[in-house]
Structure 1
Amino acid sequence: MAAREFDIIQRYFTQPAQAIDDPSVLCAIGDDCAMVQVPIGEALLVSTDTCVAGTHFLPEAPARWVAHKLLASNISDLCAMGAKPRWISLALTLPEINETWLAEFSQGFFALAAKHQLSLIGGDTTQGPLSATVTIHGSAPADRVLKRSGAIEGDFIYVTGTLGDAAAGLAKILQQRDFGAQNAYFVEQHYLSSPAPDFACAIAPYAHSGVDISDGLYADLGHICQQSQLAAVLQLDLLPLSAPLIDAYGLVQAQQLAINSGEEYELCFTADAAHHETLMQLAQTHGVQLTMVGQMKALAQMEVPGHRSAAQCIQLYQQGQPLLLENQSFEHF
């Protein structure tokens, strides 16, 4: 490791001592590997996400927002499985040393890490096109991990937060739309999602399956359908939409955005209808907006035209009537 690389790590990515007072970290930055102690009786969960300039963010985007978005996307993956985030490693590829950018990036990164008591335990820096990669580690009781394959016929389908705002934010960022006084709101909704791991861990004993909304509700709920070999009925009238989104697009287009908008980093999960009141109370306790938006059904009960696979069958309803909307969910390739 070059001396300049050590200097960057020491200056910008050494966590304050009070933020890493974590007995589970046995060895962190300073050795060739990190060493951690997974809580007894729990499984280790690992996720990796990359943000690339020009693909996931514009090079001129505020560095602190880029850092927040990168880390939030990783935390969201653990939320989807009902796991507690514990440790993170960070790899940065930089075209050049930009002290201002690094200072802002580390500020945004550690602000979110501190909020969720995450310890930075390692990583790498190298020269090249601007990108950042986080690997996050979490833990959860193995018998309570939420998988996409766990949904059960009759489960209610829930989502957190509001949907569609991130897509509107991207439209503003790419200069495709101007929302006037609401520009700042939508851009911040795109970059500054707020995953809620404490809530995710709290609902894990009651939920059967989970996924985070990173590619759009339609696509991500489709993953649950596929893995669980079930169908889903999604009620468009129940989708949680923000007032600014409806004002900007009108109800119908706002609903379209809500089912297709990626990078929301909200949680979609299924649970037995008998737990509905408990789940709503947990949401209130944790300050999370929670909405029941549909129900899982047996594939045999569904006859939906226009879908490639019965295993990904989602029937959309509007005011009690079935309809089809164009699927514009995000695809990486």
Structure 2
Amino acid sequence: MGEFELISRYFHAPFANFPNVGRLIETGIGDDCAVLTPLSGRLVISTDTCVSGAHFPVDTSAEMVAARSLGSSVSDLAAMGAEPVGFTLALTLPTINEAWLQAFGSQLYESALAWRIPLIGGDTTKGPLAVTVTVLGRVQDQCLYRHGAAPGEDVWVSGSLGDAAAALSLLGRPDASLTPIERWLYQRYASPQPRLRLGSMLRGIATAAIDISDGLIADLAHICSASNCGALIEEGAIPLSPALLATFSKEEALNCALEGGDDYELCFTAPQSTRDLIQSLSADVALSRIGTLRKESGVSMQRRGEEIRLMTKGGYDHFKESSVT
């Protein structure tokens, strides 16, 4: 099988009849460029690359590679309050493995369908396994940014934190050996769920937002740095799932939430006057108010009556961090 047959069989054909794309995508896969109709509002774009041995273990299933690669990218759209428009895929493969490609392509389509984001183009080449996804989205009015927060505002997070980080210890184990609780944690890592609907509803309410990919400390610190302020969070307010607490000690669970990453929940800030309004948005996902912004820089945590300064590594650094293998 050659490159063009590969593209046609596993990507062009499945996405050819993707629903509800005609109004925005004039031409997708199959030409030199994708052609989009003029978009009202703002166009937002983000690119992420996942490399075997660095972002996922070398024996990771094709389904997980597809779900995580697209899910982590679409989460960036959620953090901006954007509606998905389309995505491109650059896939580097060491060899053509048809079974792997079938599994990868099927999961990619399933995930894209769930998030209503069609594949509109890309590239394939030979080399060590790597997946680069570029997502495009649009915002009709006001985007959510990392800057814009101010002292005195509340800090919120969606969902529960630390589950995906806890699942790292489960990678490589046979599925049959996992308990129901461990399998739930595993899925939190294997299949990120971008908070697209929440991000869209937060436009005009939240003053700043970010998706939690590098851990709560690092990503909240990004908001604080961009907004020229600091944050004080409450230990008891950080949402930890029953599954996480059943698997790890409270201290280990808290560390997973603070430093682990890969949650792809939203962290956002908002004026205190919007508390009731924000709580009304929690029908699909729980929302937790975990702290307050202040003038003093940095991120600190209130714990047992004592204020602890939380040190951040600044997020994942591809040129300093060790691989996941």
* TM over 0.5, shorter chain: yes
Aligned to 1:97: 96
Aligned to 2:34: 34
Q: Which amino acid aligns with 1:91?
A: A
Contact 1:216 1:330 in 2 (8 A): no
CA deviation map 1:171-223 (0-9, x unaligned): 22267xxx962332222211111112122101111010011111111001001
**Counterpart selection for 2:144 from 143, 146, 150:** 146
Report matched runs for 1:261-272 at 5 Å. 261-272=260-271
Distance 1:62 1:106 in 2: 12
- Cα distance, 1:249 vs structure 2: 1.8
Q: Secondary structure at the match of 1:74?
A: helix
Q: Which amino acid aligns with 2:317?
A: E
Distance 2:188 2:230 in 1: 30
Aligned to 2:317: 331
Distance 1:319 1:205 in 2: 35
Aligned to 2:300: 315
CA 1:87–1:294 in structure 2 vs 1: closer, same or farther (change >3 Å)?
same
Structure 1 unaligned runs (5+)?
Answer: 300-309
- Cα distance, 1:228 vs structure 2: 0.4
Distance 2:282 2:86 in 1: 25
Q: Secondary structure at the match of 1:149?
A: coil
- Cα distance, 1:22 vs structure 2: 2.8
Distance 1:210 1:35 in 2: 30
Distance 1:10 1:37 in 2: 24
- Cα distance, 1:141 vs structure 2: 3.1
1:162 aligned to 2:160?
A: yes
- Cα distance, 1:158 vs structure 2: 0.8
Contact 1:38 1:44 in 2 (8 A): no
Aligned to 2:231: 232
Contact 2:45 2:135 in 1 (8 A): yes
Contact 2:149 2:269 in 1 (8 A): yes
Q: Which amino acid aligns with 1:156?
A: D
Q: Which amino acid aligns with 2:295?
A: A
- Cα distance, 1:21 vs structure 2: 3.4
- Cα distance, 1:297 vs structure 2: 0.8
Q: Secondary structure at the match of 2:164?
A: helix
Q: Secondary structure at the match of 1:30?
A: coil
Aligned to 1:244: 243
Aligned to 1:302: none
Report matched runs for 1:113-152 at 5 Å. 113-142=112-141, 144-152=142-150
- Scaled by the length of structure 2, the TM-score of the pair is 0.91
**Counterpart selection for 2:170 from 165, 169, 172:** 172
1:198 aligned to 2:197?
A: yes
Q: Which amino acid aligns with 1:274?
A: S
- Cα distance, 1:37 vs structure 2: 2.4
- Scaled by the length of structure 1, the TM-score of the pair is 0.89
Structure 2 unaligned runs (5+)?
Answer: 320-325
Aligned to 2:285: 288
Distance 1:294 1:35 in 2: 44
1:183 aligned to 2:182?
A: yes
Task: Supply the RMSD in Å over aligned alpha carbons.
Answer: 1.8
CA 1:103–1:20 in structure 2 vs 1: closer, same or farther (change >3 Å)?
farther
CA deviation map 1:285-312 (0-9, x unaligned): xx1121111111112xxxxxxxxxx4xx
Distance 1:319 1:141 in 2: 44
- Cα distance, 1:319 vs structure 2: 3.8
Aligned to 1:87: 86
CA 1:186–1:101 in structure 2 vs 1: closer, same or farther (change >3 Å)?
same
Q: 4+ residue stretches of structure 1 with deviation over 3 A?
A: 324-331
